[in-house]
Amino acid sequence: MPALHKSKPSRVLVALWLLFSLGTLVTTVTTMWRLKFEVIAHQLNQASVQAQAFDDALVQPLTLIDLSGHDIDDDLDRDNPERLATKLAQVLQHAPFVRSLSLATPDGRIFASSNAANIDHMLDLQSPQPEASAASDGLRIGMPWQGRDFAEGRPTSPEQPAAADQSGFVPVLRKLPTRRAPVILAAALNPDYFINLYARQISPVQGRVDVVRLDNVLLFSTRDDFAPGSRYDATLVASGEHAQESGTRTGDGKDGVPVLTAYRVSRNFPLVTVVHINQNFALAKWLAETRTVASVVTVGLTLLSVLAAILLRRLRRSERIEADTEAQTRLAAQVFESAGEGILITDARSVVLRINSAFANMSGFSTQDLVGKKTSVLSSGRHDEAFYAAMWKCIKAQGIWRGEIVNRRKDGKLQTEWLTISAVRDELGRVSHYVGIYADISERRRVEEELREHRDHLRELVDARTAELLTAKDTAEAANRAKSEFLSNMSHELRTPMHAILAFAQLGSHKSSLDTSGAGKLRTYFANIEQAGRRLMGLLDDLLDLSKLEAGRMQLDIKFHPLRPLVQEVSAELAMLIDERKQTLTLTAEDDAAGAYFDRARTAQVLRNLLGNACKFAPKASSIEIRYGQIEAGMVYVSIKDVGPGIAPEDIERIFEKFEQGTATKAFGKGSGLGLAICREIVLGQGGQIWAGNNPEGGAHFTFTLHANNPSQAQLSATNESRQPTA
């Protein structure tokens, strides 16, 4: 089917939806962004108003202190400190923002005070701002002091500010030019008064208020953790902005939290009142409204998206149906014309409406010859009325008929065809058309007849050959059984005299050892007889084992055993041979607890044979490795690897066959060619596999597998079927 492309209605709908969504998002974001700046501007304006109000709240007490200096100056009598103290106490009653009022000499020594404890304490005359001049008699603001009053306090400095959790005060000084000598009025300004006043207007969560000297020294703050006397933000006070009466700005505060800042510089005193509003607090309502609007817009866009998706899906379905219809129409027309079978279409009355070129070529009739005529013009007369009645009955019942028919070509020749007639129904279920598909099978019928003749002849040949093979198979099996029985009987028959030969050889060797007069050669002869006899006995044992294994008469006692003790036991048996050849044996356990189901004695025989071969064929002073562990789910493996001459590639496939020896084995001149064959039969009999190969670094490796789980009889039988019987 050709790929479907979006038609204009769906593209227009998608474009409109994208424009609407983008416009809604842009409008929403722009509006909320504008509202954010409006909120910030409003909050900055509010902060400016509050800064002015807080400045007024600070200036008024300072003005009262300034005016109090005039009252005290008019009534100053330095010779009567008690009267001065009373006067100062009376003034202090109307000034809750002052902790004490004191009078000091020009060098700063207090000689009268509302707090008698302050007398004789020294004032700090160097730090107050503005700096003192001969003509200046205005108020001067000193560095904050730590403590309740001059008597128990100490002046601070930017290097040693006051502790944030300690009480403090701000000294306010005014020079009183009396008639006798200048006097300094010192007021201990109570910061807590102003802090409480400001905190009622701006909570700690909302922001803070700082009062700063023009030289960037913090006098006090509504924040508990800001130390009076410390350096303040120089960009606000010392950058020249304080030259303006007031101003605002945004940015991060001292603790990194974004703040909205408004400040106001006092007209009469060297002070700046700074209001910081927590921007997150100020925008909390805007943020909540933004989330609400975003939720509403999201829900609205989601609903509209669902509706648009439904509409788009319907549009695309309509487009797809339309495209499918067009494609199917084109495809049907293409198939109709390019089909290899002849196609004929009729109406419900079997009047021909259309044929394709294949039908014209097949029948010899052209479109003009058949259109408008009934299909009976194709009849050959070879079929009776019962045939056609059964055909139309099937079409009416099932809507389709398939069968072989003989029609007449235009040239009069008969033609065998395979015809399929299908009824086409309209939306009301009535037959509107019939479609006939014709395939010329005349040639196929001829070929089928020839194939039938060849098949019959081939069947006769196959039957004869099969009988010959069955006879040969029975003969081979009988010969194999006879060979196995012969080997078994021969082994039994030869073992009896071999026992006698070995016994007499041992007796002769023993007797000759008792006679020391020239019996050396005799002992050698007996030793050679015994050695040859034992080798022949080993061969007979191998033949007997092999015959039992092949005949299925060897009973295997398959039980679960751990691998480690078996490997250690066989290694210990061959330790003397390994030591004689100065070889190194390494045991590598990938899974030390690995175990399997096997006959322990026979599996030890397999391992003993493989390890013995490795010892014999590996060079002296070389290394041999035994590795064991789990190879896959339910199977364990044991592998013996040496660095010997390896196995010739042409020997790998046949090395486990009976009486077969590798090139290296023949070179050594040892072996009967039965050891590996017996190993193979034992491993297969336990449901395992055994194979050999060469190591990349040189030498050979032999590996066999066993079942970690108790093997079923089916598994044992399936493995035993892999044995290749030999004649």
Q: Tens digits of per-residue pLDDT, 491-547?
A: 555 555 655 566 666 666 666 666 655 556 566 666 666 555 555 555 555 555 655
Sign for the pseudo-dihedral over CA of 296, 297, 298, 299: positive
- The residue extents of the domains of the chain are 38-284, 340-440, 446-532, 555-720
Residues ≥6 apart with Cβ < 8 Å to 198: 54, 57, 209, 222
Listed range (2-11, 160-169, 275-284, 550-559) with the worst mean pLDDT: 2-11
Give the closest residue to 655 by CA, choosing from 678, 637, 625: 678
- CA 440, distance to chain mean position in Å, is 61
For 314-349, how does the pLDDT look when each residue is reduced to its tens digit (9 = 90+)?
878 887 887 887 787 777 777 777 777 889 899 989
Residues ≥6 apart with Cβ < 8 Å to 350: 374, 375, 376, 434
Please state, in angstroms and rounded to a whole number, the distance separating the CA atoms of residues 364 and 587.
87
Please state, in angstroms and rounded to a whole number, the distance separating the CA atoms of residues 683 and 604.
11
For 351-382, how does the pLDDT look when each residue is reduced to its tens digit (9 = 90+)?
998 888 888 888 889 889 888 888 888 888 88
Please state, in angstroms and rounded to a whole number, the distance separating the CA atoms of residues 528 and 590.
45
Name the phi and psi angles at 166, rounded to 5.
-105, 155
For 653-686, how does the pLDDT look when each residue is reduced to its tens digit (9 = 90+)?
888 887 666 665 555 545 566 778 888 888 998 8
Give the closest residue to 699 by CA, choosing from 625, 633, 643: 643
By 3-state DSSP, what share of the chain in percent is helix, strand and coil, each rounded to 5? Answer: 50, 25, 30
Judge whether 38-284 and 555-720 match in fold: no
Please state, in angstroms and rounded to a whole number, the distance separating the CA atoms of residues 343 and 345.
7
pLDDT exceeds 70 at position 631: yes
Per-residue H/E/C for 138-171: CCEECCCEECCCCCCCEECCCCCCCCCCCCEEEE
Three-state DSSP at 586 gives: strand
Give the closest residue to 436 by CA, choosing from 353, 367, 327, 380: 353
pLDDT exceeds 70 at position 135: no
Residues ≥6 apart with Cβ < 8 Å to 237: 212, 214, 215, 216, 272
pTM for the model: 0.44
Query: What's the pLDDT score for residue 331?
Result: 78
CATH code that applies to domain 340-440:
3.30.450.20
Please state, in angstroms and rounded to a whole number, the distance separating the CA atoms of residues 495 and 179.
152
Listed range (234-248, 470-484, 686-700) with the worst mean pLDDT: 234-248
Q: Which residue has the higher pLDDT, 668 or 129?
A: 129
Q: Given pLDDT bands bounded at 50, 70 and 90, which one contains residue 5?
A: very low
Please state, in angstroms and rounded to a whole number, the distance separating the CA atoms of residues 31 and 397.
72
Please state, in angstroms and rounded to a whole number, the distance separating the CA atoms of residues 144 and 226.
13
Architecture of the domain made up of 38-284: 2-Layer Sandwich (3.30)
Please answer whether residues 123 and 186 qualify as being in contact, where contact means their C-beta atoms are separated by less than 8 angstroms.
Answer: yes
Query: What's the pLDDT score for residue 596?
Result: 93
DSSP assigned state of 230: S
pLDDT exceeds 50 at position 276: yes
Architecture of the domain made up of 555-720: 2-Layer Sandwich (3.30)
Please state, in angstroms and rounded to a whole number, the distance separating the CA atoms of residues 696 and 531.
38
Query: What's the pLDDT score for residue 726?
Result: 39
